Amino acid sequence: MPLAAMAEWQRQCPSSARQTATSTAHVNHHPHLLTQATDMQTLSAKTLAPYSVRFFSSSAGPNVLPTSTSPMSTSNSNSHAAAAPPSPSNPSSSSNSTSSSPSPSPIVDRIRLHGLRFYGHHGVYEYERVSGQRFEVDIVLEVADLTQAGEKDDLQGTIDYGVVADVIRGRMEGSPVKLLECLALTIIDDLFDRFDASRLSSVDITLRKPNVNLGCILQHAAVQMKRTRQQRQCQRNKEQ
């Protein structure tokens, strides 16, 4: 194309048309480029056709890729569904939870006597046996269910702690012994003998000597002992 005609053509034609014409002239001058471009377009169309069809046919819209339907993804979804926990609304699961509820624990009630005071002559030293001294007693009795005594207001449904105090008094004011341990265990045995197993199951007793002379200032010396009926019975059997 002569230079003058080229300049007039550039002035009159828009840029897009010039680009198209230039590309066409370039391709005409090099025909092997047209063959390569045609082959690439054919290959791209064959390769992307399945995906483009699924892409634009998706129910979610043209811009959302559909979920894969490969065998691997199907098996994974099935496994997740199988591992899902049972629905809370399932009546069988609720009935099983109701039937497996734990049973209530046995009722154990207690009777306490605190700060009982007696004057006795117990002790290792001679002056303790001659002059005597004050003793204090705390006791806790584990007993059977006291619901009946509370509902019927009936002394027969519980342990008379007046009787308990008399049993303790008989030992604390009775024949002297050397050790508080001996006093505590004797009182425990007396109470188990006085009340049957259906009433009394355990005794926890504390004996205190407030005026013990140890050459220093102290509030009291004490011994605490607790025994269940079964424990004490085993100990007695071994002693025989």
Burial class (CB in 10 A: 0-12, 13-18, 19+), 191: buried
What pLDDT score does 90 carry?
53
CA angle 14, 18, 23 (to 5 degrees): 155
Q: How many CB atoms lie within 10 A of CB 143?
A: 20
For the chain, domain boundaries: 3-60, 109-239
Please give the DSSP secondary-structure letter assigned to residue 84: S
Percent of the chain with pLDDT over 70: 58
CA distances to 14, 17, 82, 114 from 9, rounded to whole Å, are: 9, 10, 73, 122
Looking at per-residue pLDDT, the higher value among 110 and 14 belongs to 110
Which CATH number does the domain 109-239 belong to among 3.30.1130.10, 3.30.70.1150, 3.40.50.2000, 3.30.565.10?
3.30.1130.10
Summarize pLDDT for 174-230 with one digit per residue, the tens.
999 999 999 999 999 999 999 999 899 999 999 999 988 888 888 999 999 999 999
Predicted confidence (pLDDT) at residue 104 exceeds the cutoff of 70: yes
Predicted confidence (pLDDT) at residue 148 exceeds the cutoff of 80: yes
Q: Which of 46, 152, 178, 209 is catalytic?
A: 209
| Catalytic annotation present for 152 | no
